[in-house]
Amino acid sequence: MSLTAVLDYDSGNLHSAQKAFERMSREVGGGDVIVTSDPDVVARADRIVLPGDGAFPACKRALDAVPGLADAMREAVEVKGRPFLGICVGMQMLATRGHEYELTDGFGWIEGEITRIEPADDALKVPHMGWNDLVIDAPHPVLDGIATGDHAYFVHGWAMRVAKPEELLAHVDYAGNITAIVGRDNIVGTQFHPEKSQATGLRLIANFLTWAP
């Protein structure tokens, strides 16, 4: 039976993510969903989900502090080609580096930088918080049934500037374009929280659970 590992490193809203993934797994026959910090479980997982809430440096340090967890994740994703989904700061850590508070190296899986959101309209507040309409930039299996204009829920003050346009799958307008979804090969990331994004988010989760890159 297929196994999806949701990584627990004390930096994500794991309860709501777990419930959303379990719900959609039951609907699409996606197998077991386990919240874990055990590298051995991650090593044998068929899919990996990396949530993340808070600041980029703190999340990266917390992940690296769990013995063997980051190494097991990298082995599964880079060597074994297992499908990977990063959520919020879990997506930001895919980048080359982040500039929040201090310069912090990311995984380098998606070339780009994490920079502060600076809307052209001073009336728009930062962090970017609440519902926004997706603009789909490129087709992807994880986006099946999701279209431009569908809503997603965001909470973030920093965003990814993607270096390669082909790795930008969707953005939103917040007095300027903000990266919403990135992806390449077996890797995808969402700046928004799919577990909080109602129909749009649940559809994306279902697609991820049946994705075979």
Cβ-in-10-Å burial (0-12, 13-18, 19+) of 172 comes to: buried
The catalytically annotated residue of 128, 156, 171, 193 is 193
Whether 59 sits among the annotated catalytic residues: the reply is no
SS3 of 9-77: CCCCCHHHHHHHHHHHHHHHCCCEEEEECCHHHHHHCCEEEECCCCCHHHHHHHHHHCCCHHHHHHHHH
Q: For residue 5, which amino acid is it?
A: A
Active site residue 195: yes
Closest CA to 157 of 121, 191, 106, 112: 191
Of 22, 59, 88, 140, the active-site residue reads: 88
| Cβ atoms within 10 Å, residue 139 | 9
Catalytic site residues? 88, 193, 195
